[in-house]
């Protein structure tokens, strides 16, 4: 027992330098939000002489950060909710009705999931233009629904661990297929659906490429795009730039910390039989 504890302490000590190294970029970003431009240029790695919150005030006063936050929130919430629902409903017949056609469709989805997103940018942009979905928040939400395939495979692996006796007993009691899904299966999927929600939230909230390509107007910009536009052509106000970075990362960081237990539970549960 003592040997196990000693090994754990030794492992913690060995991992401490790597943890500090990984935290160092975040330290640089955070401390420079409380500095002036001159102090950041002279001493970027040191602590600020005094806590100056003026950079946060300037960000809210000089940039549409609140509107951008609302746009990012709308995109993230609407896309994640729809992806989880679509992925769960698609996985349900694949697991509980494994016909030959369903197996072929699963293989087809797997092939599509393996295609890199970057290779589809040109035809995807043309399709979005033809459907008049460019520069519209709901249009970008529609494009994000392609991530339902990732959710589908995660939920399908977890759904196989649910005993079939539950659904069979519900059928005997007179429940319809729709009622079984909503009242029995979906509540039991909470660990993996929360895992999917967290993973997809971090992707959409931090996504830069898609909003950059499909959102052109300032009123539709997201927080990540707002950070990009804060970079001037000839000079950069680094304290404000890093302040906007902190504002953008804080919500998703808090969300991830609060939900990390659900992530572990969902992934471990899905790996049992998935």
Is position 172 within any domain?
yes
Percent of the chain with pLDDT over 70: 91
Residue 271 has pLDDT above 70, yes or no: no
Is position 180 within any domain?
yes
Range of the domain at 194: 66-271
Is position 16 within any domain?
no
The mean pLDDT value of the chain amounts to: 84
Q: What is the 3-state secondary structure (H, E, C) of the chain?
A: CHHHHHHHHHHHHHHHHHHHHHHHHHHHHHHHCCCCHHHHHHCCCCCCCCCCCHHHHHHHHHCCHHHHHHHHHHHHHHHHHHHHHHHHHHHHHHHHCCCHHHHHHHHHHHHHHCCCHHHHHHHHHHHHHHCCCCCCHHHHHHHHHHHHHHHHHHHHHHHCCCCHHHHHHHHHCCCCHHHHHHHHHHHHCHHHHHHHHHHHHHHHHHCCHHHHHHCCCHHHCCHHHHHHHCCCCCCCCHHHHHHHHHHHHHHHHHHHHHHHHHHHHHHHHHHCCC
Residue 52 has pLDDT above 60, yes or no: yes
Average pLDDT over residues 85-113: 86
Q: Please tell me the predicted confidence (pLDDT) of residue 274.
A: 43
pLDDT confidence tier of residue 268, bands split at 50, 70 and 90? low
| 6 alpha carbon, distance to own chain's centre | 37
Average pLDDT over residues 141-161: 89
Q: Please tell me the predicted confidence (pLDDT) of residue 269.
A: 56
- Which tokens in the block code for residue 94? 């694949």
Rounded to two decimals, the pTM is: 0.83
Is position 26 within any domain?
no
Q: Please tell me the predicted confidence (pLDDT) of residue 3.
A: 58
Is position 44 within any domain?
no
Is position 19 within any domain?
no
Q: Please tell me the predicted confidence (pLDDT) of residue 273.
A: 45
Residue 64 has pLDDT above 80, yes or no: yes
Residue 222 has pLDDT above 50, yes or no: yes
Residue 11 has pLDDT above 50, yes or no: yes
Average pLDDT over residues 212-220: 88
Is position 96 within any domain?
yes
Is position 207 within any domain?
yes
How many domains are contained in the chain? 1
Q: Please tell me the predicted confidence (pLDDT) of residue 140.
A: 93
CATH number, domain at 121?
A: 1.10.3720.10
Residue 235 has pLDDT above 50, yes or no: yes
């Amino acid at each position: 027992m003592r040997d196990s504890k000693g090994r754990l302490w030794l492992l913690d000590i060995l991992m401490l330098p790597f943890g500090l190294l990984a935290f160092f970029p975040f330290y640089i970003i955070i401390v420079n939000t409380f500095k002036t431009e001159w102090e950041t240029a002279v001493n970027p790695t040191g602590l600020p002489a005094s806590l100056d919150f003026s950079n946060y005030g300037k960000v809210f006063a000089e940039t549409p950060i609140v509107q951008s936050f609302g746009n990012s929130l709308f995109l993230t919430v609407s896309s994640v909710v729809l992806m989880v629902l679509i992925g769960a409903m698609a996985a349900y017949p694949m697991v509980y009705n494994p016909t030959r056609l369903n197996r072929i469709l699963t293989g087809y989805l797997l092939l599509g999931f393996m295609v890199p997103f970057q290779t589809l940018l040109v035809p995807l942009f043309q399709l979005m233009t033809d459907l008049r979905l460019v520069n519209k928040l709901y249009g970008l939400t529609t494009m994000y629904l392609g991530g339902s395939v990732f959710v589908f495979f995660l939920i399908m692996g977890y759904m196989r661990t649910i005993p079939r006796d539950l659904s069979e007993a519900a059928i005997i009691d007179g429940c319809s297929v729709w009622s079984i899904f909503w009242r029995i299966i979906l509540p039991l999927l909470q660990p993996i659906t929360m895992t999917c929600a967290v993973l997809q939230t971090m992707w959409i909230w931090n996504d830069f490429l898609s909003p950059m390509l499909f959102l052109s107007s300032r009123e539709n910009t997201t927080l990540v795009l707002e950070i990009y536009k804060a970079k001037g052509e000839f000079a950069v106000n680094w304290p404000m730039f890093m302040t906007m970075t902190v504002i953008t990362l804080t919500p998703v960081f808090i969300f991830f910390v609060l939900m990390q237990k659900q992530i572990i539970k969902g992934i471990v549960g899905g790996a049992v039989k998935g």
